[in-house]
Chains A and B, each alone.
Chain A
Amino acid sequence: MTTEQKILSSLPYCEPFLFVDRITNINENSIAGSYTFNPESFFYKGHFKDKPVTPGVILLECMGQIGLVCFGIYLLNLHEKKTDFSIVLSNLESDFFKIVYPEETVFVHSEKMYLRNNILKCRIRLSDNNNETITTTIASCKFKLES
């Protein structure tokens, strides 16, 4: 298995709440990945009635799963150690610029601000096929490792 595959298999999510398709680049300072929204996803039925649009919270979830969780798994080497862990979102501050419709592919780029005491804080950007910014956020999460 490649590092990317190991990270994906270490994720604590599954359908219908998995929002990571690919990790395209990862190193000590940053991660990039993508996800294509399935038009059959549960939230499109209600958001909005007859006018499906991807909810902002789901965009943030996608950014968090790639930009914080996948990244943190790599930085803490959890994909190699097979350590049990859980994640707690600590805080985030976001700006939204564009709407994402069903079937669109989004691209996440996350840069590490710090990783200290298992708390990872990143500057994360979500963009579309034309590299236009959809959402930007600064967010942090805490990894709780089972000893």
Chain B
Amino acid sequence: MDTIKNEVKEILNKYIFDKKIWTNAPENPRIILDLKINSARIVDIVLDVEEKYGIEIDDKALEKIITVEDVINTIKLKADK
């Protein structure tokens, strides 16, 4: 779990302007509102995740991704199938 979390954090960091934003972020940060990532970048993040984990995330699942936990849970769900 922690490995996935760290890997997801690494992917997200590619799109975060100020990395210090993690310091004051809540336990389960919202990607757009708390990490200040542009909404269009969600697609880039999903593509990075798809490539890293060899999974496919459809547009419906993509729309439901709001928080960092959502990304982690989506990976776990798809990887289990």
- Residues of A whose CB lies within 8 Å of any CB of B are 90-91, 114, 116-117, 119, 121, 140-142
Contact = CB atoms under 8 A, between A and B. Distances in A.
Interface stretch (B2-10, B20-28, B37-45, B70-78): B37-45
- Chain A binding surface, main DSSP class: strand
B38 A117 contact: no
B40 A114 contact: no
Interface of B: 38-44, 46-47, 59, 62-63
A91 B38 contact: yes
Nearest to A116: B43
Contacts of A117: 42-43, 59, 62-63
B38 A114 contact: no
Contacts of A116: 43, 46, 59, 62
A145 to B, nearest CB: 14
Contacts of B40: 90-91, 119, 121, 140-142
Contacts of A91: 38, 40-41
Given A117-B63, A140-B40, 6 more contacts: A90-B38, A90-B41, A116-B46, A117-B43, A121-B40, A142-B39
Contacts of A142: 39-40
A91 B43 CA distance: 12
A114 B62 CA distance: 14
Contact of B47 (A90, A114, A141): A114
